[in-house]
Chain A
Amino acid sequence: MTRLVIWTVCPILLWAVHFGVVFALISATCGPRALMTPEILRATVSLVTVFPALGVLALLVAAARRRGRIVADTALAPEASLAATAYWTATISLLAILLNAVPVAVLSSCSG
């Protein structure tokens, strides 16, 4: 059960970190210091998006498989709801992580 709790918290925590990083990168690009160009920003954001997204995807698959096993084995029934929780937080987090990257992907410049 502890594992399921970790699976629940990890994806959404990854979202939080990802959001913070994307916000920081955008601020660094669009602030007066202009620490990077929009092109570099785009490359960096893609990079920092791919890995957490894949990680969350892995957790999603793991949670889904765990759910399958629980359905098959009634001894695990008490865990069923937590497995559903892990599955759905992973799904929501994955979507949210991808959405974080959208502004950088679609806008060509800070103001555009």
Chain B
Amino acid sequence: MTQTANRTPAAYDRAPSGAHDATFEQFWQPPPGLRVLSSVSHRVVGKRFLITGFVFFLIAGVLALLVRTQLIVPENTFLDSETYNQIFTMHGTIMMFLFAIPMLEGFGIYLIPMMVGARDLVFPRIGSFGYFCYLFGGIIVLSSFLFDAAPDSGWFMYVPLTTSAHTPGMSADFWLIGITLAEVASVTAAVEIIAAILCSRAPGMSLSQMPILMWYLLVTAFMIALAFPPLIFGTVILEAERLLGLPFFDPEFGGDPVLWQHLFWLFGHPEVYIIFLPAAGMVATMLPVFVGKPLFGYGFAVAAVVSMGFLSFGLWAHHMFATGLPNMSLTLFSAASTMVAIPTGVQIFCFVATLTQGRPRLTVPMHFILGFLFIFVLGGLTGVMLASVPFNLQAHDSYFVVAHLHYVLIGGFVFPMFGALYYWVPHFTGRMMSETLGKWVFWLMFLGFNLAFFMMHLTGMRGMPRRVATYPEGIGWDRLNMLSSIGAYILAAGIALFIVDFFRHRWVGRPAGRNPWGAATLEWLYPPRSPGYNFRAIPIIHSREPLWDQPELSRGDPAGIDGALRAYPDHRRETIGCDPVSGAPIQILRLPHPTWFPLVFALGLTMIFALTLAGLYPWTMAGAVIALIGLTGWIWEPSDSGVIRQTGVAGLALPVNAVDRRSHLYVGTAGALLISFALYASILFAGLYLWNTRPLAVAQTALPEAMPAIAALAGACATPILAWFARRLAGVSRLVGAALLDLGCALAAIGAAFAVGLALAPVDPWATAFGAVGWALGVFVVLNLAVVVYWALFNALRKLAGAVRPGQTLPDLLLASFVNGTALMVAGAAVLFLVLGRMA
């Protein structure tokens, strides 16, 4: 305990929940036994994501084999057509939502801190929370098999097929509710990835010195934050149509089934890039290692990634060429589809140019990289074919599309992913997987894949539609289908061999030793497996390839390498927080120790979703209470901010959890607002769309009340002012006054919420879809206001309860910015209520 006694006294000289009798190693130890479920470490959570994602991959793979078995011969009766529909729907759904996205999040969560030089993610609890939402959501989707209610309308759930009239059972509800819950994990992971990459890099790691994978993940995370909201909104209103009978998609009441397609593909096309980009980033990380030269054209590749991230949003309607959109719009989307080929090509060019710079070592990961290049380029070519409108109309909904989609998804994601698993597996087990077996795995997968899916191009050209349970004999489809199915079995054999290799290597694999591939990035600083804190001291970075260019990092005991935060005066988990652009250290980030609250919160949320599914609506309140308890316990922790500590580099002392717009919490709040704005924009899009295409129904919609709308506008203007003054008062330590202003802010938000409700009172959401969208907008801004109320009350309570010391104004800064965003949305809604309805 001498260390405690010797600490220099500071403003708030106490270390909440710091383990003062534990050593550094001890308080980084994951909790033992079942209590490991309370662990929030990115290493534990990342591994959970990877394992769960892989299990879902296997499940969906088995479903694919059932599909191929059914199609192996014409007029097969192995599966009846109903089961067949369920199986391909679940295959697509699981692959897209429960395998690909979580898998890439798993890689991100596991690798980001190790690659940027942090000891953990900046929001480890959010990672843990997201994992449980994903797991429970996935279980809900899967459990539909048990109730014989597996969704069967295809992975994109087209309306009107999925409305209650056409799908009366529960199957669509399982999909909508389970997937929405799993989506929570995606958007939370997005915020977490953005904040971790921008705010927790090692001293000196500027944006231009980040490992290239970080750029890919950063762009992907922004894409997730913008692309998932349209889908979330779409699933919520489709579920509302099914449960409450609101006519969002019902043409009889001025709804439009095509609206679903817009919302779905606004998500769905970027989704393909969301899956592809991180995989390409992993290729860009591994490839230079095996060539022994840095990536060719780093700046070039970053430009390609950033522009691809944006451009991929401009393509959504190319999946809707057959819905009768005006030709001019089609051409617009066709143009953007062609345009996105340019950055994609630039990127592939960077890879190929890197390859030509040296003689690549043909390791197993390298095989998978080459396989990726081959398959993905072919998939890109068929994609360019599909981007032309006439060809598209021909090939639409044929097996040509199935072939194209798998060339892109398996080539663009599955092959790089297997390469990455071979490459990073020593981090999980400390051992190398077999080079010999690995090559077998590769060749089985590669040949099997090409056999299976190349043939599907041909079956498609011969006119075989997708999603058919069987086909007649003698029209030229038999042999091709037989070959496809055999290919699929060979591919599956490759995957099975991978699993064998994985379990085998845990016993007999060669111990990896330090930096087994000769890599350049920081995660290889320690011999795998690195200790749970990643870095004993956080090294200073001057190069994009630190392990190649900074010899001091490869010499001697990695635990002895010089760097920041070697001392741990408060016995807390912590890491360095940096300026998002320059990478200069600006703060010490306190990280949470193991906690159960994220699990409690996720359980509460799951109860709400599952009980809605079961039709036990009153009981959802119990879930809400549990969720609220979990959330409150989570965020009610003693604040550390204001303490100043030595970092141990160059005499630099930094504040803990600085009150700064560059801090991780501010960036996280901004990320949450981004998601909120994307949801808001999705609702506006739906409203404008209906306004434009259904003028008659819009004219029949009653107008919102003007006076309450004006009152809502006033309330919206009042909240930011109150929050601003609360922050000022807290800044000069007038805590009681600040608490009162917080309460005022909560009251103003409640008032605004009621005003929104009153304004909408004359609008009957059951009468027209346009009115229903108006209500959706109202409900959404009211939910945001509810967050403001909760947050303002929480801040007030903490000040009154003495949990806040003078100068600890971070919560006030965060609340103020969230209030600004919310006020903007409420004001926008109020103005629309006043204007848009009246323009009809």
Contacts and interface: CB of A to CB of B under 8 A. Distances in A.
A61 to B, nearest CB: 16
Contact of A31 (B303, B306, B335, B693): B693
B300 A84 contact: yes
Contacts of A26: 326, 328-329, 332
B339 A111 contact: no
A110 B328 contact: yes
Q: In this complex, which of B314, B342, B581, B582 has the most chain A Cβ atoms within 10 angstroms of its Cβ?
A: B314
Contacts of B299: 80-85, 88
Contact of A79 (B208, B302, B689, B693): B208
Contacts of A13: 310
Contact of B339 (A24, A84, A99): A99
B314 A12 contact: no
A88 B346 contact: yes
A103 B314 CA distance: 14
B331 interface: yes
Interface in B274-333: 297-300, 302-304, 306-307, 310-311, 313-314, 326-329, 331-332
A9 B298 CA distance: 17
A19 B694 CA distance: 23
B304 A95 contact: no
A82 B335 contact: no
Contacts of A106: 331
Interface in B193-231: 206-209
B306 A27 contact: no
Interface in B175-208: 206-208
A13 B206 CA distance: 23
Contact of A99 (B298, B304, B335, B689): B335
B303 A23 contact: no
Contact of B311 (A22, A27, A96): A96
A74 interface: no
Nearest to B317: A23
A109 B326 CA distance: 9
A5 B583 CA distance: 14
B343 A5 contact: no
B311 A15 contact: yes
Contact of B342 (A16, A83, A95, A104): A95
Main secondary structure of the interface of A (DSSP, over half): helix
B169 interface: no
B326 A111 contact: yes
B76 interface: no
A85 to B, nearest CB: 4
A106 B346 CA distance: 28
Nearest to B302: A85
B695 interface: yes
A40 interface: no
Given A8-B303, A79-B208, A80-B299, A102 B329 contact: no
28 contacts: A1-B581, A8-B303, A12-B307, A13-B310, A15-B314, A24-B688, A27-B689, A28-B692, A32-B693, A78-B209, A79-B208, A80-B299, A81-B299, A84-B299, A85-B303, A89-B306, A89-B307, A92-B303, A92-B342, A96-B307, A96-B311, A103-B329, A103-B332, A107-B331, A109-B328, A110-B326, A111-B326, A112-B327
B311 A30 contact: no
Interface string B560-590: 0000000000000000000001100000000
Contact of B206 (A16, A78, A107): A78
Interface in B689-703: 689, 692-695
A100 B332 contact: yes
Nearest to A89: B303
Contacts of B437: none
Interface band, chain B: 35 or more
A19 B335 CA distance: 11
A31 B692 contact: yes
B336 interface: yes
A83 B299 CA distance: 7
A31 B339 CA distance: 26
B69 to A, nearest CB: 43
A30 B208 contact: no
Nearest to A87: B303
A88 B331 contact: no
B695 to A, nearest CB: 5
Nearest to B330: A103
Contacts of B307: 12, 88-89, 92-93, 96
Interface in A42-87: 78-87
Given A1-B581, A85-B303, A88-B303, A19 B314 contact: yes
Contacts of B209: 78
A112 to B, nearest CB: 7
Contacts of B300: 84-85, 88
A17 to B, nearest CB: 10
Contacts of A89: 303, 306-307
Contacts of A82: 207-208, 299, 302
Contacts of A87: 303
State the 7 A-B residue pairs at the shortest beta-carbon distance, nearest first: A84-B299, A88-B303, A81-B299, A103-B331, A30-B326, A31-B692, A110-B326
A112 B329 CA distance: 11
A84 B581 contact: no
Contacts of B328: 26, 29-30, 103-104, 107, 109-111
A88 B353 CA distance: 17
A65 to B, nearest CB: 16
A2 B584 CA distance: 13
A15 B336 CA distance: 11
Contacts of A83: 299
Q: In this complex, which of A31, A80, A92, A110 has the most chain B Cβ atoms within 10 angstroms of its Cβ?
A: A92
Contacts of A8: 302-303, 306
Given A32-B695, A102-B331, A19 B302 contact: no
Contact of A16 (B310, B332, B689): B310
Contact of A92 (B313, B343, B694): B343
